[in-house]
Each structure stands twice: as C-alpha cells, then as structure tokens.
Amino acid sequence: MKTVERASLPGNDFLIIAHRGASAYAPDHTFPSYELAVAMGADYIEIDLHMTRDRQLVAFHDRSIILEGEEHAIANLTLKELQNFLPGRIFNEQLPVMASKSFESLFVPTLEDIFLHFKDQVNYYIEIKSPTATPGIEKELIHQLESYQLLNRSDRFPKVIIQSYNADSLKKVFELAPSIPLVKLYSQDTTSISKGEIRDLEKYASGVGVNHSLVTIDFVNRLHDKGLAIHPFVVNDADDIQALLNMGADGIFTDKPDIAAKVKRSHLREPTKP
C-alpha cells in the first residue's frame, strides 16, 4: 500500500494566528474580531468549530452556553436556539473598556457565514472541538472546505490548517483530505510527549500546539528534527513573543495580533548575528 505523505507547514516564516480573531479588542469569533485581526496583520484567523444538533458548523469556543439561566451543550442546541446567545453583550460586560454598542447585536456565525464573508481572502486555522459528541463533524468540515474551493491550492501559506486535541479526529481528516496540514494540540507538559507519540505524529501531523510557557529550545529542536512545526498558545506579551521567535517557534496564537506583528517586524529588521 502506498504511503500518503503528510502535508507541510511553512518553515521559513513566523505565523501570526489570531486567537478567536483579535479577541482582546472585540468579541471572539465575530466578524469585527476577525476583520480587525486581518487589518492588524494576522496570517490566520482561528476558528473553534462545533456542530449543532441540526448539524450546522458554528464558530464558538466553549462546549456549552448559558441561556435563560440554564447551561446547554452546543451539540444539544439547534442553530436557531444558539443564535439567541449574544456574544457582544457578554464581551461588553466583561471588558467595558473595549465595549461598543455595535457589538450588542452580534450573533454566533456559522462556518458558512464566515466563508461567504471572507471567501479565499484570508487563511483559516480551524480547531475541531468536541468531535466525540458530534460524529461526522470532520466529513462536514471537509465538504464545506471543498465547496468553497479552499483545498489543494498553491498559495504562499496553506489556505487551511486544522488542529485538535483529539488525535482520532485529526486522523479522520487525514484520511479524507491528506493535503491539509494538521496540528495536534497538547495541554500537558511538553516533556511528557513520548518518542512513540512523536513517531505517531510523523504519520499524519504537520505540527503541534502547546502552551507557550512550556516551550524550550530543546523541545523546538526535537520537533523540528522530526519535521514538525510548533505553534505555541496563547501569547500576548511582546517579550514572550520575542523569546519564542528566538527559540525558533514557527508561529503563535495571540489575542493581540497587532503586538505580534510589531514584534515580528522588529525581529525581521534586526541584523543577523555572526
């Protein structure tokens, strides 16, 4: 049987991935947040992806929401029910210094809303959330990506990158569309990723995502030796971003793409040390 090669990620650039958009300044996973991220110089907008009870793909981070005082899993709500949730009002309450009246009517967008709005003018970094609760989410995602002609392109950066904490979900995506770069997320200490697990990653993954506080030069080199990129999360401090650049990280997730873009520009202007 012919071995299918895993996709590759850019190895000569530092990707700025807007975590839920420019979510320090606007409600996460809304058009203002995504648009601001692009304007600030983000290379990718990150989309946390859930599937509703009526099998609609939506951009939302948490597994559940509070509606009328009761908690509901996204997987148990219809799209119509979910759109009773107004993320802008929550943002305005939690971050009044950034509040805007225009945010109050914002809704939870579907993935198709996002594709219709941005088309192929941005790059998408999509996290598959709760795949065990929503069987078939991978197949529906690939269907939509194909429908909007976002796969098998020859752009400077891959138009789409997919990530997940769930290895089985990523392997399903690999079977369906091996041209998509896949990133395995980890929540634990990076030292606990065994040699055997890295060998498994080499079969399907293009990179890993870990908490930025756990990244070391040794870990970066260990991954790079196996052809795996590293995209730490979530990094908003300029000094932390600079430190990750110096360690050789391939990109970062940030709520503040403007700060990341400024650090990146400054880094690129620095003369190469002999």
CA distances from 144 to 57, 114, 115 (A): 9, 11, 9
Residue 176 near residue 151 (C-beta atoms within 8 A): no
Helices 111-118 and 137-147 sit at what angle, rounded to 10 degrees?
A: 20
Rounded to whole angstroms, how far apart are CA atoms 46 and 231?
A: 12
Residue 56 lies in a domain: no
The question of whether 61 is a catalytic residue gets the answer yes
Report residue 91 as tokens: 């943002």
Report residue 149 as tokens: 């002609």
Q: Domain holding 30: CATH number?
A: 3.20.20.190
Q: Residue 21: name the closest of 34, 32, 31, 30 by CA.
A: 34
Q: Which entry of 19, 29, 50, 231 is annotated as an active-site residue?
A: 19
Largest CA distance in the chain: 62
pLDDT value of position 274: 44
Residue 64 lies in a domain: no
Residue 196 lies in a domain: yes
Beta-bridged to residue 207, according to DSSP, are 183, 229
Residue 163 near residue 185 (C-beta atoms within 8 A): yes
Q: Which entry of 29, 61, 212, 231 is annotated as an active-site residue?
A: 61
162 is in which domain, residue-wise? 15-49+109-269
Q: Residue 161: name the closest of 206, 227, 212, 215 by CA.
A: 206
Residue 238 lies in a domain: yes
Rounded to whole angstroms, how far apart are CA atoms 142 and 178?
A: 11
Terminus-to-terminus CA distance in the chain, angstroms? Answer: 47
pLDDT value of position 271: 56
Q: What is the pLDDT along the chain (274 residues), one digit of tens a residue?
A: 467 889 989 878 999 999 999 999 999 999 999 999 999 999 999 999 999 999 999 999 999 999 888 999 999 999 999 999 999 999 999 999 999 999 999 999 999 999 999 999 999 999 999 999 999 999 999 999 999 999 999 999 999 999 999 999 999 999 999 999 999 999 877 767 888 999 999 999 999 999 999 999 999 999 999 999 999 999 999 999 999 999 999 999 999 999 999 999 998 776 554 4
> How many structural domains is the chain composed of?
1
- Supply the pTM of this predicted model: 0.95
Residue 209 lies in a domain: yes
Residue 5 lies in a domain: no
pLDDT value of position 270: 64
Rounded to whole angstroms, how far apart are CA atoms 22 and 260?
A: 11
Residue 265 lies in a domain: yes
Residue 6 lies in a domain: no
